[in-house]
Amino acid sequence: MAVNRRNVEHRGDGRWQVIEPGASRPGAVLRTQREAIERGREILGNSGGGELGIRGLDGTFRAQDTIKPGNDPRPSKG
């Protein structure tokens, strides 16, 4: 079963996008990273949950969050 996933990434124009891996267009483009993270959580929550990956300005993943009713792949809390 495929994991429902979205990434928050910085764009060249200074804004932040919420995009599904492999998609050609973002699901949302917002002014700040915080707004993009909130919107990514909303998108995943409305589509049954999943994983939200958050990239920093340098493009590397800095955080990952499981959005309910998603299934956290790690047994630890947090």
What is the chain's mean pLDDT, rounded? 90
Q: How far apart are the first and last CA of the chain?
A: 23
Query: How many Å is the Cα radius of gyration of the chain?
Result: 12
pLDDT tens column, 17-45: 999 999 999 999 999 999 999 999 999 99
Q: Compute the distance between CA of residue 27 and CA of residue 22 in angstroms, rounded to an integer.
A: 12
Please say if the pLDDT value at position 77 is more than 70: no
pLDDT for res 69: 76
pLDDT for res 73: 60
Contact 37, 28 (CB under 8 A): no
**Position of tokens 């707004």?**
35
- Residue 34, SS3? helix
